[in-house]
Amino acid sequence: MSARIDLSDVGQVFWVQDDADKQKRQFVALEDVDLTVSAGEFLTLVGPSGCGKSTILDLISGLTKPSAGTLRIDGRPITGPGLDRSVVFQQYTLLPWRTARANVEFALEAKGGLTKAERVRIADEYLELVGLSEFANRLPGELSGGMKQRVAIARSLSYQPEVLLMDEPFGALDAQTRERLQEELLGIWRRTGTTVVFITHDIDEAVFLGQRVAVMSAAPGRIREVVDIRLDRSAAGDDDIRGTQAFAGYRHRIWSLLRERTGRPEEVASVA
């Protein structure tokens, strides 16, 4: 089961201390953000550094509350964290003393209501989903970076959240591992039908993964435009879609939107 997400006129203001005079001043991180994510959709969010992408994810997860506006899941106001949402961060956040299986079980323990045998069965099911059945008894220190992130994804999916929130989960990985995990993530999303909101600095990653790409402006962050991605994957396949003319066209369009908004090449380079 997946869920629809609605953000309406969302704003977020933080109080920050000025190092020079030690006075606290308002920093407007988000302003008038309107965004709808359909149930079962894979939406990617791209924008320059500091534009509020992670702030939006924190708000949807319920870790913070907005200064203005409303956030809803299937019509229900978001008032805090819940088991209907799960977050995958760039850092793996695995418990180093627990095996891959035990790390997945940890989320199921927190959910409660399951026997040990049921937790093991479900953990093994989701490790198989991410291709790590053979590594169930390995500690995180014995796994590569890509494997650790797959364990984190398995853990996040194990209790069947309606929404999966991903904050640059592949940002620390090498290019080859990153592309392979992008392809695997698409396969998992197709099999589970989970609603995914995926933050990235990388335009290629945004186009490759997203059914739609929400392009943000520089702070105060707003949704500049939402671009529908219509790539014929049946003809090219996931492996080859990056080399098509259509892919290049979408990439250029999003790059142009970011450049048009910032007008500063260094900010565009940070998301290219």
What was the pLDDT predicted at 24? Answer: 76
What was the pLDDT predicted at 27? Answer: 83
Residue 153 phi, psi (nearest 5): -70, -45
Question: End of a domain among 142, 160, 178?
Answer: 160
One domain for residues 255 and 171: yes
One domain for residues 218 and 265: yes
Q: The sheet that has 195-200: what strands, in order across it?
A: 85-88, 163-167, 195-200, 42-46, 212-216, 223-228
Number of domains comprising the chain: 2
One domain for residues 200 and 263: yes
Q: How far is residue 10's CA from residue 216's CA, in Å, rounded to a whole number?
A: 14
One domain for residues 220 and 261: yes
- Weakly modelled stretches of the chain, pLDDT under 50: 262-272
One domain for residues 48 and 135: no
Q: How far is residue 146's CA from residue 166's CA, in Å, rounded to a whole number?
A: 15
Instruction: Let me know if 239 is exposed, middle or buried by CB neighbors in 10 A (0-12, 13-18, 19+).
Output: exposed
What was the pLDDT predicted at 239? Answer: 63
What was the pLDDT predicted at 261? Answer: 53
CATH at 190: 3.40.50.300
Question: End of a domain among 128, 160, 192?
Answer: 160
List of E strands, 125-267: 163-167, 195-200, 212-216, 223-228
Domain that holds residue 263: 5-84+163-269
What was the pLDDT predicted at 137? Answer: 96
Question: End of a domain among 110, 129, 160?
Answer: 160
What was the pLDDT predicted at 45? Answer: 96
One domain for residues 80 and 193: yes
pLDDT in tens, 74-115: 999 999 998 899 998 877 788 999 999 999 999 898 888 889
One domain for residues 173 and 224: yes
One domain for residues 139 and 233: no
One domain for residues 132 and 168: no
Tokens 């069965």 correspond to what residue?
121
One domain for residues 182 and 264: yes
What was the pLDDT predicted at 89? Answer: 84
Structure-block tokens of residue 108: 């199921």
One domain for residues 75 and 209: yes
One domain for residues 23 and 113: no
